[in-house]
Amino acid sequence: MGFVGACYRQTWLLQLYLFVMFLVIVALICFIVFAFAVTDHGRGQATINGVFLEYQLSDYSGWLKNRVSDRKYWSKISSCLRDAHVCSGMRRTARDPATGMIVPESVGMFYQRQLSPIESGCCKPPSSCGYTYVNETLWTAGTAVVLNDADCTRWSNDQRQLCYRCNSCKAGVLATLRHSWRKVSIINIVILIVLVIVYVVACAAFRNNKRMDNNEAYGEARMTKSRPSSC
């Protein structure tokens, strides 16, 4: 639209083009501000014996948190997580030196791992509960289980349940969203800069069109007189 308007000097086409571009730029700015505003709060917390971070829902707030923890949305999100086999993908094995059998990685190795927010929040009980590690997604209640956190009772060794009902899982999803929305926002800012440059160029073409139209209408005498721009 912009090229045709500029090349064939169709002022109305350029006008429409500039108007649409203006709306797109405003919408993009609104979306960038929105994406930063709703992902404003929350980050993971260090664990005592693990390298990975753990996530708490109470660290998050605002529209996105309410949206994710809403019962209706959460049932969809958690069934997606379950069907994506996020947690079974965590499996790592080692060979037991004594028996030569393939066994799950040791608890020491597990705590040295970097877990994604979803793996940390959804696939294992919060470490403050004191469950005993068997494998990544199997934790037994030893003697020292503390039920200080509702998530501790929500944890299930049923491989289809795990911690998908836990608040830590919702917080893990929020942390992932925050991360990916921030990345998308950076791409959007680059696109915004490009659009603004294109818009400015189109504005110049528009002014040029108008000036040439005026020259044709009023003759050569007005050639040097520039009109104030509305662009």
Ligand X SMILES: *[C@@H]1O[C@H](CO)[C@@H](O)[C@H](O)[C@H]1NC(C)=O
CB nearer ligand X, residue 43 or residue 95: 95
As to burial, measured by CB atoms within 10 angstroms (0-12 exposed, 13-18 middle, 19+ buried), residue 1 is: middle
Number of Cβ within 10 Å of residue 74's Cβ equals: 17
CB of 89 vs ligand X, minimal distance in Å: 8
Q: Which residue(s) pair with 94 in the sheet?
A: 103
Select from 85, 91, 179, 182 the one that contacts ligand X (CB under 6 A). Answer: 91
Q: What distance in Å separates the CA atoms of residue 104 and residue 153, rounded to the nearest whole number?
A: 24
Q: Which residue in this structure is represented by tokens 């309410």?
A: 66
Closest distance of CB 133 from ligand X, Å: 10
Give the residue, chosen from 18, 64, 90, 152, that forms a contact with ligand X under the rule CB under 6 A: 90
- Which residue among 16, 29, 138, 145 contacts ligand X (CB under 6 A)? 138
Site string for ligand X, 151-190 (x = CB under 6 A): --------x-------------------------------
C-alpha span between 160 and 41 (Å, rounded): 30
Q: What is the DSSP letter of 141?
A: -
Kindly determine how many residues on this chain lie close enough to bind ligand X according to the rule CB under 6 A. 8
Burial class (CB in 10 A: 0-12, 13-18, 19+), 192: middle
CB 139, min distance to ligand X, A: 9
Residue 153 or 159: the one with the smaller Cβ distance to ligand X is 159
Site string for ligand X, 50-89 (x = CB under 6 A): --------------------------------------x-
Distance CA 210, CA 74 (A): 55
Residues at the contact surface with ligand X, assessed by CB under 6 A: 88, 90-91, 135-138, 159
